[in-house]
Structure 1
Amino acid sequence: MGDHSEVKVKIPFGTKYLDAIFSVPDKILTHGVILTHGAGGDMNFSHLVSLVAYLASRGILCLRFTCKSLNIAYRTKAYKSVVEYLKSSSEYKLSSVFLGGRSMGSRAAASVLRQISQDDNEDFIRGLICLSYPLHRPNLQSKLRDEDLFFVKCPVLFISGTEDEMCEKKLLEGVASKMKTPRKIYWVEKANHGMAAKGRTEDDIMMEVNTQIFSWIKEIIEQENK
């Protein structure tokens, strides 16, 4: 597999800047992935670092960023700024990009896609990757955070643990069945919301997750090139 380098950048967002890092493959292909973290932590959360290293070493440009606000509307605005920044980049000319995030970060990505689909200019975005999508609060299954998902027009990949206390299996399957776009759910056996499972190491789980994400991206890119 190829190597990659990391480039720190500051992305303009209103009067502020968002800290971000490009993971740049030695041989730049034409596809990229934008990723962000959940309600806690930042872009250096171990699962995101593991994923970008895996993808970048296989030729996919990755851009991960930090936005610590717990306000979903603010997080969505920040995510949209990052998408626009990458789209207008003169250094990295991509034909398409996948949006993704972990937990609250995946909610923000879905919300951006809802807005972009309403602008009807979403050709640049080829898919949505939801790692541990927080479909509901723990023990509050009656109130689902599913409204944005029904507006997404591109393919969606959900990766969740079967023991995720914020995403009951039957409920996510029910939501997915009502979505009008190609979607896939990959369940990590016995993993919780933090993607931890008894008797398994974090590296072992992340290798399983990273492999699934890469093969799904590859499949979509190959369909696009037919």
Structure 2
Amino acid sequence: MGNGTVTVIDGGQCTVGEWLLDGCDRLSQVDLILAHGAGAPMDSAFMAGMAGLLAARGIAVLRFEFPYMTARREDGRKRPPNPQAQLLESWRQVYASVREQVPGRLAIGGKSMGGRMASLLADELGADALVCLGYPFHAVGKQDKPRVAHLAGLRTPTLIVQGERDAMGARATVAGYALSTAVELHWLAAGDHDLKPLKASGFSHEQHLQAAADAVAAFLRRLG
């Protein structure tokens, strides 16, 4: 597939233009397009780690950046996310470009904000599945202003991997939301917004990331 020059970084990862692809031994295949969260780029430790874990499970993952993060990469200046309309248009453009070249099943999703933007478009784009890692059901401290109205009518098969103590959607809070039957929740014990658990839980962050990758891979395989 192409969106510019393909450059192999190592045996499992390559750049495709401005994108990153884990599973570059399968250049004709993308299983999941994964967008970053509000504050970290596509090559953050979380994004790189999850993409690598999924690729090891046979899921080819393509990562891209929204315009504000691309600009930050160029000049080093931090800036807030683009307006929602621009974020959604970026998603549309990336999806359309990939879909032109990927005949098989294609899922979309992301970390936090990236996943929320994907969830707003999943039905419109006709994506085969939606995967959200740490979904921001509400802003921190604003449980009274949930961002879930569109999730009640969502038709796209969806997996949300969420930490039980996520400050943007703890298990007890999310239990009170009306979600579509298309939405499946996978909870990680004592996990926070980055899926990191409390030490007292007996789990490590690495174990939770592995469990998240297992859940996503199993979910996508079921659909396939």
Check conservation: 1:4, 1:23, Cα contact below 8 A: no
Check conservation: 2:108, 2:130, Cα contact below 8 A: yes
Task: Show structure 1 runs of 5+ residues with no match.
Answer: 11-18, 117-121, 222-226
Map 1:89-168 to 2 at 5 A.
89=101, 93-116=102-125, 122=126, 125-168=127-170
Match of 1:87 among 96, 99, 105: 99
| Structure 1 pair 58–190 and aligned structure 2 pair: CA distance change class (3 A) | closer
Check conservation: 2:34, 2:108, Cα contact below 8 A: yes
Asked if 1:204 is matched to 2:207, the reply is yes
Could you tell me the TM-score, scaled by structure 1's length? 0.79
Q: What whole-Å deviation, never above 9, does each CA across 1:143-170 have from its counterpart, x for those lacking one?
A: 1111332342111111111111111323
Match of 2:89 among 77, 80, 84: 77
Paired letter, 2:119: A
Find the residue that maps to 1:63 and give its secondary structure.
strand
RMSD: 2.2
Aligned residues: 199
Check conservation: 1:29, 1:61, Cα contact below 8 A: no
Check conservation: 2:134, 2:163, Cα contact below 8 A: yes
Q: Which residue of 2 aligns with 1:36?
A: 35
Find the residue that maps to 1:210 and give its secondary structure.
helix
- Rounded to whole Å, the distance in 1 between the matches of 2:179 and 2:168 is 19
Q: What whole-Å deviation, never above 9, does each CA across 1:120-153 have from its counterpart, x for those lacking one?
A: xx2xx21111111101111211111113323421
Which structure features the higher share of strand residues? 1
Could you tell me the TM-score, scaled by structure 2's length? 0.80
Paired letter, 2:186: Y
- Rounded to whole Å, the distance in 1 between the matches of 2:36 and 2:115 is 8
Check conservation: 1:28, 1:59, Cα contact below 8 A: no
Find the residue that maps to 2:46 and give its secondary structure.
helix
- Rounded to whole Å, the distance in 1 between the matches of 2:141 and 2:175 is 18
Paired letter, 1:6: Q
Map 1:207-226 to 2 at 5 A.
207-221=210-224
| Structure 1 pair 152–111 and aligned structure 2 pair: CA distance change class (3 A) | same
Check conservation: 2:120, 2:150, Cα contact below 8 A: yes
| Distance apart, 1:107 and its partner CA | 0.7
Q: Which residue of 2 aligns with 1:194?
A: 194
Paired letter, 1:97: L
Check conservation: 1:190, 1:197, Cα contact below 8 A: yes
| Structure 1 pair 182–81 and aligned structure 2 pair: CA distance change class (3 A) | same
Percent identical pairs in the alignment equals 23
